[in-house]
Structure 1
């Protein structure tokens, strides 16, 4: 900020301003395809459907029926953390002096609250108006709104210091790291124009030189920037994330915490590590969303356990006559149900799953044929509760670093697993 202007501004209001306040603000970037507003809309629509005997509700516009959309996802760990962050608009005195607290939530890449998801290019490449960079710009706009509202809630106060906690999941973690680098640019960054606004009241001591802006806790859930561009032919697997600054230099924050997925397939989901500069990168069991959350609490999963095989058979032949079906059935006979399925899940089963080709061969000598594809499949009930472990870990570590949660002094009361009754048939 302009130190000279700050001094003049303070002198002009010194007769009425007597109290100096520290603002601690938490900025939370949700993951790709995660949006807490849309998750709530989807949940409300599903409840309405169930209340109306499964009939479609016009107001829902079918948004709740698309698997993988932001309307069908559950709340992520970012959405749960922001609800725990302390909100205190009017300055109060604690052991460290007068303070205010604000949480700021930014929806995930590829989503718009109440609007359609941007599969291209937001979710696919992390670009466009719902991409990683634009989400950072959105965060600064929200931060500006908060800082400009401060004088209204605290008419006799000025800002002495600004402390920022930044959290993110997936591409939201990339946004969190990019925002941190914008702060580190100081006068050349996106925060400077906000601080220069005459609607933001700063004390005469507020300056970059005095360290008035500090990064406190940066909490990351499985950073995957995956930025695609024309330069790399849309490749989201490489380390090239053009324009997105992910590097967090030593000492840039009080602490950087990074929880990463041990069991994620990284071929198309490359991890952006914070090592070796920040050693608190903790590997936890699970895939990407087992770390950051967003899976439904309970759902039926249908997966293939063997590689699909295909056979060309007469169009009138049953699937069971195809060689591929017989091979899959032979493999199924060697599998033990107890090795694959939880004994409490009485609705789960193994079976041969088949499908027929919708496109028949064009060659005349094959016109009476069809293609059968078969594999051993499994249907079972799965739960999204593993992500609660990562939430607990992040919450505890952040609280150790002074993260201001409404519930730091007591453990979070989350049930990790549902009752075994959930497995019983109705």
Structure 2
């Protein structure tokens, strides 16, 4: 059932077909007109009018075929008169003949025809044209191991949210299936991460895909979310894609998935607004970590014009695109590009490239040409120094701010117990009866602890030497006494907050809004409320990011606050599960760089 107010208009480039199994009824209270090729049929209170060079009434056959009955245009008045006298058109045969009409009748008919055609032309002139709009599309690429849907699906599993001992068994089983234990400890996968700033900004971006826009509207906006690298909503993560950035859930795969999602959103919008045609498209692009690398590659994909992947999904000539839209620079632009700490880190085993540390990132184009967008912003993590998290700079668009990688992009839990090794575990061989702290490994580690105290006091950490041992097999015929391998490392344990990411969430949103990005206000929810002690820091960071202040100018007290409560120790010697005793560095995926300084791949 379709009901409209003043009018309903349908336009097609070539054909429109209506089909019904039994009948089609067209009912008009005053007038019904059908016209085509210069001929027309009109029904109104005065009668039925047909006009055209020739009129054919088929007897038998199918429309357009069958046995034709040619009636001269001038004979129509006679036919009408005969019908009123009782001779209906249904009784006519193919051989029926009609006498020639009177000259006065011909003149009157011609005058009436001209009048009707003038009326039709006037009506056609008054038909409204298509509503041309600029469509703004936000495209959001989440980070490695980050997935909005997965994080939200287990929000009730975390210890700070709910007492797991008291919840229903079905819920507890759901949590256990995704790696949460009975104390609510989080697993090391996309289900164990909080939502990122990319997901938060996606939630704010104005989405009008299911809205019937006003007839006076000149713009509309849609949003599209791409899952984080190495993740799939509702399923297990891909360790291969997380480790290499490649594969079916890799960075380039996310770029290749985006056109289908964009086309789906555009088509849904068009279903709600069939009177609109898209005159221009403007993309806003956001990304974090490897998602930021995908965002940069997507920006370059858009620059390919009619050859880009989105143009394949929405080719010129599509009904929702204006006739002049051809994916040319005048048709599609990049508005705002917002990046959180780009780390491409692509590993290519097939090319014998096993290091995410280097500058080689096959399959991705990270270069952003001058003027590629109206505004490009990259927030860079000042305190990140992991070997495997080299920065892909965006040149003059970089804004260096306090924190490590996920302090900027998000994903850390709101509150968490951080327990990390700050030194590489040392090992030594000792008698089984020797106290661990008396072994060479632990004595050397204790000396290293003394050297780190001054450096790490600002973090407010409780530092200690952690030791563990593995007893070796004993052979009575060969060994004089039982032995063990002793391992020692400096350990830190503290509670740390994930709220620093909310500062950068607000900063990026404000920078985007100032460039005209259609973002809603931040809702006053507990999850998005900024701690009061971070408010003055946010004000200073925003002033620095906007250029209103030449320096960040945090006080010593503000820096100390960030280090004690908010900046995580991302660089550590915690090994991949089960590999703390390994002598191979590859298993310490979060290890710091050798010189303690982050590798930066410059933007050419």
TM norm structure 1: 0.83
1:354 aligns with 2:472: no
Calculate the aligned-residue CA RMSD, in Å: 3.5
Moved more, 72-81 or 50-59: 50-59
Alignment match, 2:285: 166
Shift of the 138–339 alpha-carbon distance from structure 1 to 2, 3 Å rule, reads closer
Decide whether the 8 Å contact of 1:226 with 1:269 is kept in 2: yes
Shift of the 361–237 alpha-carbon distance from structure 1 to 2, 3 Å rule, reads farther
1:191 aligns with 2:327: no
Determine the C-alpha separation between the residues in 1 that align with 2:296 and 2:286. 9
Determine the C-alpha separation between the residues in 1 that align with 2:497 and 2:248. 33
Alpha-carbon deviations, 1:62-118, whole Å to 9, x = none? Answer: 3143643100101111011101111223353599x4222111111100000011011
Alignment match, 2:163: 50
The CA deviation at 1:157 is 1.6
Alignment match, 2:516: 402
Alpha-carbon deviations, 1:253-301, whole Å to 9, x = none? Answer: 11111111112125322211222xxx22101111111111111111111
Structure number with greater Rg is 2
Q: Among 92, 95, 102, which residue is 2:213 paired with? A: 92
TM norm structure 2: 0.60
Alignment match, 1:387: 501
1:282 aligns with 2:403: no
The CA deviation at 1:326 is 5.2
The CA deviation at 1:185 is 0.5
Decide whether the 8 Å contact of 1:194 with 1:200 is kept in 2: no
Secondary structure at 1:52 match in 2: helix
Determine the C-alpha separation between the residues in 2 that align with 1:255 and 1:93. 29
1:118 aligns with 2:238: yes
Alignment match, 1:253: 373
Determine the C-alpha separation between the residues in 2 that align with 1:352 and 1:416. 33
Alpha-carbon deviations, 1:220-273, whole Å to 9, x = none? Answer: 111111111121422222221111111111122111111111121253222112
Alignment match, 2:295: 176
Decide whether the 8 Å contact of 2:208 with 2:269 is kept in 1: no
Alignment of 1:2-13 (within 5 A): none
Alignment match, 2:413: 296
Shift of the 219–416 alpha-carbon distance from structure 1 to 2, 3 Å rule, reads same
Determine the C-alpha separation between the residues in 1 that align with 2:297 and 2:451. 51
Alignment of 1:229-248 (within 5 A): 229=348, 230-248=350-368
Determine the C-alpha separation between the residues in 1 that align with 2:276 and 2:448. 74
Moved more, 205-214 or 98-107: 205-214
1:29 aligns with 2:141: yes
Shift of the 193–94 alpha-carbon distance from structure 1 to 2, 3 Å rule, reads same
The CA deviation at 1:331 is 6.8
The CA deviation at 1:59 is 2.5
Q: Among 177, 187, 212, which residue is 2:331 paired with? A: 212
Decide whether the 8 Å contact of 1:148 with 1:199 is kept in 2: no
Q: Among 383, 390, 394, which residue is 1:263 paired with? A: 383
Shift of the 183–313 alpha-carbon distance from structure 1 to 2, 3 Å rule, reads same
The CA deviation at 1:351 is 3.1
Q: Among 404, 407, 415, which residue is 2:530 paired with? A: 415
Aligned length: 404
Alpha-carbon deviations, 1:308-327, whole Å to 9, x = none? Answer: 44332222444344354456
Structure 2 unpaired stretches of 5+ = 1-10, 17-123, 181-185, 535-560, 566-604
Alignment match, 1:4: none
Shift of the 357–186 alpha-carbon distance from structure 1 to 2, 3 Å rule, reads same
Decide whether the 8 Å contact of 1:49 with 1:57 is kept in 2: no
